[in-house]
């Protein structure tokens, strides 16, 4: 019993340390890029032993991949899950967009949208990190498309609406707001994006009262 307790305690401490490192890694990467991550630097900043950090992440690439996966989990919790709590339809699609704007505006990651900046850093590269980021963005686009498709199937969006095109346009507006805000350290871009998204949704919604009068 005593041995089991000690082992469980070490595992729990190891998991806590791993989460602590990944939290700092996500914050750093969102501002300085995934290439800015260093096992030694994180150990120094968090006052951890280098050997302990290297035991948790065997290489810089392992750290980068773990950081991206941790960011995906944050994204799912902050952006995707709240929208899932809304019934399928135009309301869910609108909630998904406003939730994304809040995620960027509230600086869940200090550098704005983690995936916008990381994708720009790795878009022309090859390797596991690129593939993981590309997969995450593809999944996000597919989810926005599926949310729009569900809205069309339940009658909230007009038949014949190109949901693929609609999703592309909505994401473009979201990312433009993020880019402008981060680059210029201003926040009016989120209001502009919300108005533009609302205007775009009004062109396809079957019942205007299903959308708010203003963002």
Burial 156-187, CB ≥16 within 10 A → b, else e? bbeeebebeebbeebbebbbebbbbbbeeeee
Whether residue 72 is predicted with pLDDT greater than 80 in this model: the reply is yes
pLDDT in the model for residue 84: 96
Domain ranges of the chain: 59-207
> Do the beta carbons of residue 211 and residue 90 sit within 8 Å?
yes
Map residue 154 onto helix, strand or coil.
Answer: coil
Task: Identify the architecture of domain 59-207 in CATH.
Answer: Orthogonal Bundle (1.10)
In this predicted structure, the answer to whether residue 4 has a pLDDT above a threshold of 80 is no
Least confident interval from 52-66, 80-94, 185-199: 52-66
pLDDT higher than threshold 80 for residue 13:
no
For residue 9, what pLDDT band results from cuts at 50, 70 and 90?
low
137, pLDDT greater than 80: yes
What pLDDT, on the 0 to 100 scale, is given for residue 50? 87
Given a cut of 80, whether residue 5 has pLDDT beyond it is: no
Do residues 119 and 75 make contact, with C-beta atoms less than 8 angstroms apart?
no
- The model's pTM is 0.91
Q: Give CA–CA dist 36/155, Å, rounded.
A: 47
Question: Phi-psi region for residue 47, left (φ > 0), alpha (ψ -120 to 50) or beta?
Answer: left
pLDDT in tens, 160-184: 999 999 999 999 999 999 999 999 9
**Are the C-beta atoms of 90 and 210 separated by less than 8 Å?**
yes
pLDDT at 8 over 60: no
User: Mean pLDDT of all residues in the chain?
Assistant: 93
**Average confidence (pLDDT) over 46-56:** 88
Residue 202's pLDDT is what?
Answer: 98
**pLDDT, position 55:** 87
Mean pLDDT of 29-41: 93
* Torsional sign, CA 204, 209, 213, 215: negative
Please give the pLDDT value at position 6.
54
Q: Dump the DSSP string for 59-90.
A: SHHHHHHHHHHHHHHHHIIIIIHHHHTSPTTH
């Amino acid at each position: 019993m005593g041995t089991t307790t000690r082992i469980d305690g070490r595992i729990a401490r190891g998991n806590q340390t791993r989460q602590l490192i990944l939290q700092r890694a996500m914050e750093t990467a969102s501002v300085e890029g995934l290439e800015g991550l260093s096992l030694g630097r994180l150990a120094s900043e968090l006052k951890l032993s280098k050997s302990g950090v290297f035991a948790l992440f065997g290489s810089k690439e392992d750290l980068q991949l773990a950081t991206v996966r941790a960011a995906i989990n944050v994204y799912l919790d902050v952006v995707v899950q709240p929208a899932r709590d809304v019934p399928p339809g135009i309301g869910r699609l609108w909630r998904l967009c406003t939730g994304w704007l809040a995620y960027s505006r509230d600086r869940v990651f200090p550098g704005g949208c983690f995936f916008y900046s990381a994708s720009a850093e790795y878009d022309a590269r090859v390797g596991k990190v690129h593939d993981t980021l590309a997969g995450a963005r593809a999944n996000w686009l597919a989810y926005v498309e599926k949310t729009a498709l569900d809205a069309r199937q339940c009658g909230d969006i007009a038949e014949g609406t190109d949901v693929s095109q609609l999703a592309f346009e909505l994401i473009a507006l979201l990312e433009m707001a993020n880019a402008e805000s981060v680059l210029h350290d201003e926040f009016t871009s989120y209001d502009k994006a919300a108005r533009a998204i609302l205007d775009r949704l009004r062109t396809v919604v079957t019942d205007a009262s299903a959308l708010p009068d203003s963002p």
